[in-house]
Amino acid sequence: MKRYEDVTVDSVECIAPDIYDMHVITDMAAVVVPGQFAMLYTGDASRMLGRPISICECSEGGLRFVFRVTGGGTRDLAAFKGGDKIKILGPLGNGYDIKAMKGREVMLMGGGIGIPPMLELAKRLSASGIKVRAVMGYRDSNLFLKSDFERVCETHVATEDGSAGTKGNVLDAVREKSLFFDVICACGPMPMLRAIKSYAAGNGITAYISLEERMACGVGACLGCVCKTARKDAHSHVNNARVCTEGPVFEAASVDI
Amino acid sequence: MNMTVNIAGVEFKNPVTTASGTFGSGMEYSEFVDLNKLGAVTTKGVASVPWPGNPVPRVTEVYGGMLNAIGLQNPGIDVFIERDIPFLKKFDTKIIVNVCGKTVEEYLDVVEKLANTSVDMLEINVSCPNVKEGAIAFGQDAACLEDITSRIKRIARQPVIMKLSPNVTRIADMARAAEAGGADAISLINTITGMKIDIERRKFVLANKTGGMSGPAIKPIAVRMVYEASHAVKIPVIGMGGISNAEDAIEFMMAGASMIAVGAANFVNPHATSEIVDGIEQYLIKHNIKDVSEIVGCVD
């Protein structure tokens, strides 16, 4: 059940250049599916829309959001302090279907600010007894959340500048380390997701990818955040699925990206 | 205290509805808002066949508002009749169906298909700025507007609201044209055409280049146009454009709107419509006003 509520910020911390780690106090965590997101509102009417931020981690009584400052709205979010009230709308979107991964070997692939939502997924998969590993792609040696992943599963790193792990992207790391798996769960920039879609198709494995799109409502009403789909879905009756509602997680083969 | 409003013989339990395109057909927001509480739900525009809409990005924020260029994506009238009307009929609220088309014939086709349904009113969208193939031409030329209004009125079984574009030189002329064509009411404003450029990428932010602006920043323009339009015609005016709270809604009513619609504010606060109903009621109680119609156009 989605909720729109005022919650208390527990803490906000800068954990890498432009990357912020926000904890909020809410019992919404109890109903969150990994891969879901929430809208965070700055409270400033001049920046009226919510910012869709993926849920990084759930704890008893709280949610963790790790986001990148990319403009004025996210800069305002980064300026919140412990004790402040913030309006949030969530949990939104479908999230990853953990049951569908039972008995399979899962590789999580996160690129940049697509890394955070993989953390809660890693924890839930691991808790469900599903074999899970992670490969994370960073720009440079600011390896945010790496130690969090290492506490949960085997974790590999790729960096664009070669300053840590494999030089290159997540798929370069997969090849270099000869990693084998039969399901991919991925979130990251579009070029990475396109490469993963093609890798999955070429290797006959399933990839679930989490898409990002500009949104207004976050609940499926405005039709702002659609992506092209192979099939006509029941809602739109055209080949457009709503990233906020039918997504953000899609089977890679089902979307035209 | 009386909150009911009567427009063209349709009685609404209060003057609050939703602005087309911001509320789907009510389903998504029914998780947050008791639809029974609203005067009416005005649905997303529906055409004779499914429309895919524009490429993404379709939305972006601007100072105090947003731009959208959805391009009237909709599943077509057949799906709408089969799925959305039965959903809305479960609630004790009126249904205003927003109708869009690219040609007069397409509008007429939708209006005809709605004739035997139990929807309460039609709102004819002749003002979408994001569809190239026509549509807005009907809303920017007074003679065209009068013509399409009268052709729709000839076959419509429900009262007809013509939704006007603010992207015109004289809104009063357009209001008069709709009235002359036989419209039962007019609604305004639709969004104001805008543009945003990403200076780092040297590209338009929206794939459609331009988009319709909505949100609190357009409110003063909308209030002025509602005032001008309501003074130009005798038919009722439904006011919208940047209404975020009850104070905004009351301002529109004082400018001349008999009813108001809440649009982009739904995206900021999914409870906005319901809070506005409560807020208007509280205002009436506080000022000892017996009937909501007393404030309509009261600033003359």
Task: Please identify every residue of B annotated as catalytic.
Answer: 128
- In A, which residues are within 8 Å of B63 by CB distance? 46
**Tell me, what's the pLDDT at B300?**
78
Structure tokens at A45: 């009417």
State which amino acid sits at residue B93: T
Please identify, among A60, A92, A124, the residue that sits at the C-terminal boundary of a domain. Answer: A92
**Tell me, what's the pLDDT at A234?**
81
Question: Parallel, antiparallel, or unpaired: how do β-strands B259-262 and B16-18 relate?
Answer: parallel
- Distance in angstroms (rounded) separating the CA atoms of residues B62 and B58: 13
**Per-residue CA distances from B124 to A252, B97, B150, B223 (Å):** 39, 8, 12, 21
Please identify, among A33, A64, A92, the residue that sits at the C-terminal boundary of a domain. Answer: A92
Same domain for A83 and A26, yes or no, is yes
**Tell me, what's the pLDDT at B33?**
97
A220 and B28 within 8 Å at the Cβ level: the answer is yes
Closest CA to B52 of A223, A30, A218: A223
Any CB–CB contact under 8 A between A179 and chain B? no
For chain A, positions 73-102, list CB contacts with chain B under 8 A: 73, 87, 89
Structure tokens at A36: 């879901």
Same domain for A158 and A134, yes or no, is yes
Do residues A249 and A93 touch, judged by C-beta distance below 8 A? yes
Residue A112 forms part of a structural domain: yes
- In A, which residues are within 8 Å of B57 by CB distance? 213-214
- Distance in angstroms (rounded) separating the CA atoms of residues B170 and A27: 53
Rounded to two decimals, the pTM is 0.96
Structure tokens at A31: 């109903």
Inter-chain CB pairs, A–B, below 8 Å:
106
Structure tokens at B99: 């109708």
pLDDT tens for residues B244-254?
Answer: 999 999 999 99
pLDDT for B168 beyond 60: yes
Cβ burial A86-110 (10 Å sphere, 16+ → b, else e): bbbbbbbbbbbebeebeeeebbbbb
CATH of the domain at A24: 2.40.30.10
Same domain for A177 and A77, yes or no, is no
A217 and B51 within 8 Å at the Cβ level: the answer is no
Closest Cα of chain A to B234: distance in Å? 33
CATH of the domain at A139: 3.40.50.80
B64 and A45 within 8 Å at the Cβ level: the answer is yes
Domain annotation for chain B: domains and CATH numbers: 5-55+69-193+214-295 (3.20.20.70)
Strand, coil or helix: what is A118? helix
> What's the structural domain count of chain A?
2
**Per-residue CA distances from A146 to A137, A165, A249 (Å):** 10, 12, 23
Nearest chain B residue to A239 by CA distance is: B52
Any CB–CB contact under 8 A between A68 and chain B? no
- Which among B29, B56, B58 is the nearest to A221, CB-wise? B29
ipTM of the complex: 0.94
Structure tokens at A114: 């697509």
- β strands within chain A, DSSP E: 3-16, 19-25, 37-41, 51-59, 62-68, 85-92, 105-111, 131-138, 154-159, 166-167, 183-187, 206-210, 226-229, 240-242, 249-251, 255-256
Same domain for A11 and A74, yes or no, is yes
Same domain for A105 and A200, yes or no, is yes
Residue A250 forms part of a structural domain: no
Same domain for A39 and A110, yes or no, is no
Cβ atoms within 10 A of the Cβ of B237, count?
Answer: 30
For chain A, positions 37-56, list CB contacts with chain B under 8 A: 41, 45-50
Residue A79 forms part of a structural domain: yes
A216 and B68 within 8 Å at the Cβ level: the answer is yes
Question: Over its length of 257 residues, how does chain A's per-residue pLDDT go in tens digits?
Answer: 899 999 999 999 999 999 999 999 999 999 999 999 999 999 998 999 999 999 999 998 999 999 999 999 999 999 999 999 999 999 999 999 999 999 999 999 999 999 999 999 999 999 999 999 999 999 999 999 999 999 999 999 999 999 999 999 999 999 999 999 999 999 999 999 999 999 999 999 999 999 999 999 999 999 999 999 988 878 888 999 999 999 999 999 999 99
pLDDT for B148 beyond 80: yes
Residue A63 forms part of a structural domain: yes
- Which among B66, B73, B244 is the nearest to A49, CB-wise? B66
> What's the pLDDT band for B131 if we cut at 50, 70, 90?
low
For chain A, positions 215-254, list CB contacts with chain B under 8 A: 215-227, 235-240, 245
Q: Which of B83, B267, B269 to mutate to test the interface with A (most CBs of A within 10 A)?
A: B267
HEC per residue, chain B = CECCEEECCEEECCCEEECCCCCCCCCHHHHCCCHHHCCEEECCCECCCCECCCCCCCEEEECCEEEECCCCCECCHHHHHHHHHHHHHCCCCEEEEEECCCCHHHHHHHHHHHCCCCCCEEEEECCCCCCCCCCHHHHHCHHHHHHHHHHHHHHCCCCEEEECCCCCCCHHHHHHHHHHCCCCEEEECCCEEEECEECCCCEECCCCCEEEEECHHHHHHHHHHHHHHHHHCCCCEEECCCCCCHHHHHHHHHHCCCEEEECCHHHHCCCHHHHHHHHHHHHHHHCCCCEHHHHCCCCC
Any CB–CB contact under 8 A between B49 and chain A? no
The chain-wide mean pLDDT, for chain B, equals 96
- Which among B28, B70, B269 is the nearest to A219, CB-wise? B28
Do residues A132 and A125 touch, judged by C-beta distance below 8 A? yes
Residues 6+ apart with CB under 8 A from A33: A91, A94, A95, A96
Please identify, among A45, A67, A92, the residue that sits at the C-terminal boundary of a domain. Answer: A92
Mean pLDDT of the B79-103 span:
97
A226 and B56 within 8 Å at the Cβ level: the answer is yes
**Tell me, what's the pLDDT at B132?**
58
Mean pLDDT of the B110-135 span:
85
Same domain for A144 and A203, yes or no, is yes
Do residues A172 and A166 touch, judged by C-beta distance below 8 A? yes
- In A, which residues are within 8 Å of B76 by CB distance? 237
Residue A142 belongs to domain spanning:
99-210
- Distance in angstroms (rounded) separating the CA atoms of residues A20 and A69: 8
